[in-house]
């Protein structure tokens, strides 16, 4: 990863809920939910476009009052980029979690960035399509705004 690289956290199309020990991020575009632990959340929130990876490392070290290996931050940025949460992703650093853990040792395991993701099921309303070709198509779709009018946009609606 280029030392001058300044990652930018993606904010569009996301619903963010901050919790005491984690940040929940729902991506409306991919229909995925991401749970960021404290370290991953800090890294993501620090990706303002004005902070380099080294800057984020220093800020994380100050926050935790402990030395932080820069590879920990790189790993976090890779995890966030892989999940589409960085809007200007750099090529991945090629780090894997196992190698980073071996290098930094068990003392820093608590600080390892973790992003847990899952694809969320669509709601029953979202699963029902209000698309139509003719007015008869709207009759069985009772959740649509109209059950009799197939408008010019191809939707069962007024």
In a domain, 6, yes or no: no
56-64's contacts with Cβ under 8 Å and 24+ in sequence apart are 60/111, 64/111
Asked if residue 133 has pLDDT above 90, the reply is no
100, 103, 107, 109 alpha-carbon torsion, rounded to 10° = 10
In a domain, 22, yes or no: yes
Q: CA-to-CA distance for 114 and 133, rounded, in angstroms?
A: 46
List residues bridging with 155 in a β-sheet: 131
Q: Do 22 and 95 belong together in one domain?
A: yes
- Give the mean pLDDT of the chain: 80
In a domain, 1, yes or no: no
In a domain, 7, yes or no: no
Nearest CA-CA partner of 112 in 133, 131, 98, 128: 98
Q: Do 44 and 112 belong together in one domain?
A: yes
pLDDT score at 52: 95
0.85 surpassed by pTM: no
Q: Do 139 and 90 belong together in one domain?
A: no
pLDDT band at 60 (very low <50, low <70, confident <90, very high): very high
Q: Do 134 and 112 belong together in one domain?
A: no
Contact assessment for residue 10 and residue 87, using Cβ atoms and an 8 Å cutoff = yes
Q: Do 110 and 131 belong together in one domain?
A: no
Residues spanned by the domain of 154: 122-158
pLDDT band at 65 (very low <50, low <70, confident <90, very high): confident
**Over the stretch 2-56, which tens digit does the pLDDT of each residue have?**
768 899 999 999 999 998 889 999 998 888 999 999 999 999 999 999 999 999 9
């Amino acid at each position: 990863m280029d030392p001058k690289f300044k990652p930018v956290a993606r904010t569009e199309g996301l619903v963010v809920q901050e919790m005491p020990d984690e940040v929940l991020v729902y991506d409306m575009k991919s229909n995925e939910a991401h749970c960021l632990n404290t370290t991953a959340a800090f890294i993501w929130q620090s990706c303002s476009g004005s902070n380099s990876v080294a800057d984020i490392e220093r800020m994380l070290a100050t926050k935790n009052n402990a030395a932080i290996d820069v590879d920990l931050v790189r790993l976090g940025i890779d995890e966030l980029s892989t999940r589409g949460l960085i809007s200007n992703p750099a090529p991945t650093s090629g780090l894997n979690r196992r190698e980073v853990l071996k290098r930094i040792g068990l003392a820093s395991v608590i600080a390892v960035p973790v992003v847990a993701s899952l694809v969320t099921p669509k709601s029953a309303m979202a699963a029902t399509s209000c698309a139509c070709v003719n007015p008869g198509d709207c009759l069985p779709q009772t959740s649509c705004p109209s059950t009799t009018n197939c408008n010019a946009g191809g939707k069962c609606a007024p």
